[in-house]
């Protein structure tokens, strides 16, 4: 058997011509400043240098950031100007009145200076600092750490909050709730990382099913996470999404350590945001198999067959559309959906060929439950006049469903992908921004 190696996550370059509206990350015919060449050779035409490059423009944008003064600082400046003007007027009036009354001009000058000094509130900076410090103390009691004192005051002036989703609005504890296999949608019970639960087809339990076993085994072998127990408490090591797959398999009695002893990993093509899938090569009693997981549309594009009724059948366009409809339905239920596939491969196969002509084995829908306090927090912000924007890398449909569940999305709000946002003309972007400012919110989903 030829030795396999871990393939570094990379993006292949191309000489193809792309439309002008192609987003910068998708322009594979351009090597940007900072690009690392991992293999291959080629010639390139330099189109920009220094600050004219994409990297340089980004650095220029960061240089142009201006630190605005806080509302409190602006008010203190305004108060200082008003107090200084009022003091000068009063001092001048007192000095002139004293001279008119016959007092010595030099003596009245000294009285005016003394009056001006007395009118200046020397303790004002100390009072402001103490007030902000008390605010920091109150924030600490609410489990919020404030690094800079002025932040306490600017927090009270907040009118827009931009927030991430995973781990911020949600618990970042993925749990498999739905499984689509053999043309049937199954429900999975159990909570958290504890490997106890069952699979149900309606009200009927499903167990020892060859289709379900193959799907769960694929998700376990094509996986870098682990399931551990410490003093009766179950937890995962690695990525929460991959951990959810290992937990789901354990509920069916498929334990990763035991499975990997029988199916040793010989190589892998790791996940990358460009490919949106991961593939491992594992040995078996009857040969070498490739197991893949990733975005459903990407997995389906790599498949020519589907595992149905105990054997492999052709994956027709109609069946692909049916699967995509299931994906959309699960996404509307705020589930993150992953597709799975496998294929028996030759012993000497090249890793570039492992992800072709695969057999689709099924889908898994996972939920990252929202934090219990988030919905109340968003409602509190809304009642205080603060608009909430959710920015996430999830699928647009999933982002919309979660935003609606948490109360971020309301009728008339906008849901935009990164591509749609970038494609907006400046005029339309300003119009969308004015609409956002006059309604409730605006949820970009960077998918």
In whole angstroms, what separates CA 149 from the centre of its chain? 29
Phi, psi of 365 (to 5 degrees): -110, 120
64 flagged as catalytic: no
pLDDT single digits (tens) 249-302: 999 999 999 999 999 999 888 887 778 899 999 999 889 999 999 999 999 999
Cβ neighbours of 398 (radius 10 Å)? 24
Mean pLDDT of 174-194: 92
Q: Is the pLDDT of residue 84 over 90?
A: no
Residue 157 tokens read as: 């002036």
Please report, rounded to a whole number, the percentage of residues in the chain having pLDDT higher than 90.
33
Ramachandran bin of 74, using left for φ above 0, alpha for ψ from -120 to 50, beta for the remaining angles: alpha
Mean pLDDT of 413-441: 61
pLDDT band, very low/low/confident/very high, at 185 (cuts 50, 70, 90): very high
Q: Are 421 and 442 in contact (CB under 8 A)?
A: no
Q: Is the pLDDT of residue 70 over 80?
A: no
What pLDDT, on a 0 to 100 scale, did the predictor assign at position 437? 47
The DSSP string of 415-444 is EEEHHHHHHS-HHHHHHHHHHHHHSS-EEE
What b/e string do you get for 241-266 counting C-beta neighbours within 10 Å, with b at 16 or more? Answer: bbbbbbbbbbbbebebeebeeebebb
What pLDDT, on a 0 to 100 scale, did the predictor assign at position 438? 45
In 247-318, DSSP assigns E strands to 265-269, 277-284, 287-294, 303-308, 311-314
pLDDT single digits (tens) 333-385: 888 899 999 999 998 888 778 899 999 999 999 988 788 788 888 888 888 88
Q: Are 199 and 182 in contact (CB under 8 A)?
A: no
Output 421-426 pairs: Cβ under 8 A, ≥24 positions apart: 422/23, 423/21
The DSSP string of 83-110 is HHHHHHHHHHHHHHHHHHTT--HHHHHH
In whole angstroms, what separates CA 136 from the centre of its chain? 29
This prediction has a pTM of 0.60
Q: How far apart are CA 245 and CA 179, in angstroms?
A: 11
Q: How far apart are CA 334 and CA 239, in angstroms?
A: 19
**Among the listed residues 352, 308, 329, the one whose alpha carbon sits nearest the alpha carbon of residue 215:** 308
Any idea of the CA torsion for 80, 81, 86, 92, to the nearest 10 degrees? 110
Q: How far apart are CA 403 and CA 352, in angstroms?
A: 39
Cβ neighbours of 117 (radius 10 Å)? 11
**Among the listed residues 249, 239, 244, the one whose alpha carbon sits nearest the alpha carbon of residue 270:** 239
What pLDDT, on a 0 to 100 scale, did the predictor assign at position 38? 67
Angle separating helix axes 105-119 and 71-100, nearest 10 degrees:
160
The catalytically annotated residue of 164, 198, 239, 286 is 164
């Amino acid at each position: 058997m030829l030795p396999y190696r871990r393939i570094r996550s990379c993006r292949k370059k191309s000489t193809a011509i792309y439309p002008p509206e192609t987003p910068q990350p998708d322009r594979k015919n351009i090597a940007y400043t900072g690009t690392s060449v991992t293999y291959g050779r080629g010639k390139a035409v330099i189109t920009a240098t220094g600050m004219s490059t994409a990297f340089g423009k980004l650095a220029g944008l960061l240089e142009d950031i201006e630190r605005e003064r806080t509302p409190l600082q602006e008010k203190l400046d305004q108060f200082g100007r008003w107090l200084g003007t009022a003091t000068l007027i009063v001092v001048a009036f007192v000095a002139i009145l004293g001279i008119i009354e016959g007092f010595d001009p030099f003596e009245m000058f000294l009285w005016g200076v003394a009056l001006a000094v007395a009118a200046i509130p020397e303790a004002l900076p100390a009072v402001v600092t103490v007030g902000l410090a008390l605010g920091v103390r109150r924030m600490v009691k609410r489990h919020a750490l404030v690094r800079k004192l002025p932040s306490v005051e600017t927090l009270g002036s907040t009118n827009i909050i931009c927030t991430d989703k995973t781990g911020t609005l949600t618990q970042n504890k993925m749990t498999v709730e739905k499984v689509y296999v053999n043309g049937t949608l199954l429900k999975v019970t159990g909570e958290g990382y504890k490997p106890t639960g069952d699979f149900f087809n309606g009200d009927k339990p499903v167990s020892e099913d060859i289709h379900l076993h193959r799907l769960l085994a694929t998700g376990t072998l094509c996986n870098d996470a682990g399931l551990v127990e410490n003093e009766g408490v179950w937890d995962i090591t690695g990525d929460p999404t991959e951990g959810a797959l290992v937990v789901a398999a354990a509920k069916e009695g498929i334990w990763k350590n035991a499975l990997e002893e029988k199916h040793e990993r010989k190589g892998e093509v790791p996940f990358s945001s460009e490919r949106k899938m991961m593939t491992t090569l594992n040995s078996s009693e009857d040969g070498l198999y490739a197991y893949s997981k990733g975005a459903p549309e990407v997995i389906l594009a790599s498949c020519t067959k589907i595992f149905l009724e105990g054997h492999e059948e052709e994956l027709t366009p109609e069946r692909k559309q049916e699967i995509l409809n299931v994906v959309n339905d699960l996404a509307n239920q705020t589930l993150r959906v992953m597709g799975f596939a496998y294929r028996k491969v030759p012993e000497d196969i090249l890793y570039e060929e492992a992800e072709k002509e695969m057999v689709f084995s099924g889908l898994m829908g996972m939920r990252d439950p929202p934090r219990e306090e988030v919905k109340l927090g968003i409602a509190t912000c809304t009642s205080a006049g603060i608009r909430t924007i959710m920015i996430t890398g999830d699928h647009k449909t999933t982002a919309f469903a979660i935003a609606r569940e948490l109360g971020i999305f309301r009728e008339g709000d906008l849901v935009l992908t990164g591509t749609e946002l970038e494609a907006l003309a400046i005029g339309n972007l300003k119009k969308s921004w004015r609409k956002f400012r006059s309604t409730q919110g605006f949820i970009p989903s960077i998918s």
